[in-house]
Amino acid sequence: MPGGGELLARLNGELAGLAAKVRDSLVRVESAGRGAGAGTVWHRDGLILTNAHVVQQRSPQVVLADGRRLPARILAQDRELDLAALAVEAQDLPTIEVGDSRRLRPGSWVVAFGHPWGIQSAATAGVIIGQGSLVPERPEFGHRWIVASLHYRPGHSGGPLVDAGGRLVGINTVMAGPDVGLAVPVQEVKGFLKRRLGGEQPRPEPQPQHSV
């Protein structure tokens, strides 16, 4: 049986590999006069997800992981869900596997990616507190949220929240209190895309996987 040091080294290696994979699909979203947020590539042909409050109906630009800066077109927004879908003229962009936010349980490890305080492609780890429709401290947030014990900072908004397997389970959105972050579940994202983009179908459900 591996010792504690060997297990820690293995875990560090796995987390580093997960972070490298996710960063390939992480983008920076810049909106004139409002600083910058994050986004994640949903479809390889230029469909990008972020928060509605990041773009604010302006003319955003997207900076891809490879450094390309591209003008983005806002395809759809939902202010209640705080989601926005953007399109850029690019093909063969890297994506990450989509997970199932309904499988998350209190204590599950998650990692939030973004550009906090201008630090590019940063990772912040935490655990799931739970999921719920109402957050007592913030009653204006009325729909279902992923609630995680991690610290969002300016620049995390719109970035991907991934599970321990590197699968997308939510979109980082807002702090609800000290070290309590809210994310839009990926199941809500799928519904948003299907409703607002018409022919744009959600990506397929992942096949069941067994963790080790």
Residues involved in catalysis: 53, 82, 157
CA dist., res. 128 & res. 148, Å (int)? 4
- And the tokens for 27? 């983008």
Residue with tokens 């230029």: 46
Residues facing residue 123 across a β-bridge: 113
Sequence-distant (≥ 6) Cβ neighbours of residue 99 within 8 angstroms? 162, 163, 165, 167, 168, 169, 186, 206
- And the tokens for 34? 């409002």
Q: Are 129 and 137 in contact (CB under 8 A)?
A: no
- And the tokens for 172? 């980082």
CA dist., res. 138 & res. 132, Å (int)? 12
Task: Determine which helix (DSSP H) or strand (DSSP E) holds 171, and give its type and residue range.
Answer: strand 168-177
Q: Are 156 and 38 in contact (CB under 8 A)?
A: yes
CA dist., res. 151 & res. 168, Å (int)? 18
Q: Are 150 and 95 in contact (CB under 8 A)?
A: no
- Which DSSP state fits 170? E
